[in-house]
Amino acid sequence: MRKPMSTTSVHPNPREGEGLTVLFAGHSQTEPGHRMGPQVLNYYLVHTVLEGTGRFRCRDQTYDLRAGDSFFIFPGELHTYQADEDDPWRYRWIAFRGAHAERWLQTAGISPAKPVVVEGEEVPAKAAQAIEKRFRSGDWTSGWESEGWLRLAFASWGRTNRPSGPPVHHSAGASASQVDRAARWLEAQLTQSVSIAEMAKELGYHRTHLSKLFRKDMGMSPVRYLQKIRMERAKLLLREPLTVEQVAASVGYADPLYFSKAFKRWVGRTPTDFRKTIE
């Protein structure tokens, strides 16, 4: 049995009002039967078990936990947790708060009614260790690093709890999600010469299926949407001290003459004439 020990590192310069802020992180090898609570906290606290066993109790439910499990304590929730008498647990923990915390937990499938992630990945334990180390260093950037590590831990809990992603309650929601993803992909490729076939392949959708969803949700085809965002961007760029060739290249047209013709079809005047109207 390991010798009992406990360490805690606090955030060297926490900022109030952040969406997600880590407060402190720690590591403990508990004594046999070591007990915390009953108690109530005013922040979120998650423990990830490294070795040994113990019990966590919340909302009249008792959870027997072992290595790989993570248990979450929510603000205002009465709880108790206790190490096993014969095989006391060793765990790492992360305390956090913020306006985004509840939404992140819900998305990962974690709530006061379901406060345990069973047989998770190694990432949360590594995250807690890295956060504790960075806080101990006192580096002024440790807050950013700690938030990054906590987000990686959330990604891990989400993969374990919901390998297929959060539930979609109706088909319209699923369709909207697919279209939104496709629209964001097109926006990310604004400066590139891309095709709808490439988009469908990249996103893993059949071209016909994606085009049908796009027309239904956006009121236009993917090709039309791509033209729209390119031309809207071009109109903004034409207000800047750029040549027509530079504007064309910035919205995915290698041939400035082809761009000028496409712009005129969309706007009703050439890029040069449009520029005159805003001078």
pLDDT, tens digit (0-9, with 9 covering 90-100), for 192-230 = 777 778 888 887 877 788 788 888 888 888 888 888 888
Q: How many other C-beta atoms are found inside a 10 Å radius of the C-beta of residue 22?
A: 27
The pLDDT of residue 168 is 57
Q: Are 28 and 6 in contact (CB under 8 A)?
A: yes
Can you read off the two tokens belonging to residue 200? Answer: 């469908």
Helix, strand, coil distribution of the chain in percent, nearest 5: 45, 20, 35
Q: Which CATH number fits domain 5-161: 2.60.120.280, 3.90.1300.10, 2.60.40.10, 3.50.50.60?
A: 2.60.120.280
Q: Are 199 and 187 in contact (CB under 8 A)?
A: no
Which residue has tokens 């952040």? 18
Spacing of C-alpha 50 from chain mean position: 25
Is residue 186 within 8 Å of residue 192, measured between CB atoms? no
Domain boundaries, the chain: 5-161, 171-277
- Judged by average pLDDT, the poorest of 14-28, 51-65, 142-156, 166-180 is 166-180
Rounded to whole angstroms, the Cα distance separating 255 from 158 reads 45
Instruction: Give per-residue pLDDT as tens, 111-165.
Output: 999 999 998 889 999 999 999 999 998 888 888 999 999 999 999 999 998 887 7
CATH class for the domain made up of 171-277:
mainly alpha
